Amino acid sequence: MPDWLVSFVTHPATIVMVGGGAGANARYWFGRAVAEWQLRNFERVAFPWATFLINVSGSIVLGFAAALFLRHPDESRRVWYLLLGTGFCGGFTTFSTFSYETVKLMQDGQMGTALAYVFGSVAVGVVGLWAALKLAG
């Protein structure tokens, strides 16, 4: 394999791009599945479960990636954090969507649901990341 191709494939920007593409694709399919489940089971619930679950599960994945790869003594293993943490989780989690959905709930007069969404997302995301760090050692 030519040196330029090896340099391109192993470059941090390429690794982040591949992880981000996979994360964005996973976000799309996971979000659709949760939205369809929510429509079938809770047609009248306005809570944005798809974004909530994406952000929480992304926090958990990020916790495991950080615990397993950022502190690893072999620096060559840290590239996995670029792929999974920066790339995949960056493409998968949805802070901008979270912000929009919160404002939309507020505009729709659902202040209680908006507050539950904000505090629930932050609290469960932080607890999920903390638990993943603990479980991964």
The verdict on whether residue 90 carries a ligand-binding annotation is yes
Q: How far is residue 58's CA from residue 67's CA, in Å, rounded to a whole number?
A: 14
Annotated ligand binding at 86? The verdict is: no
Task: Please enumerate, by residue number, every residue annotated as part of a binding site.
Answer: 90, 93
Task: Please enumerate, by residue number, every residue annotated as part of a binding site for Na(+).
Answer: 90, 93
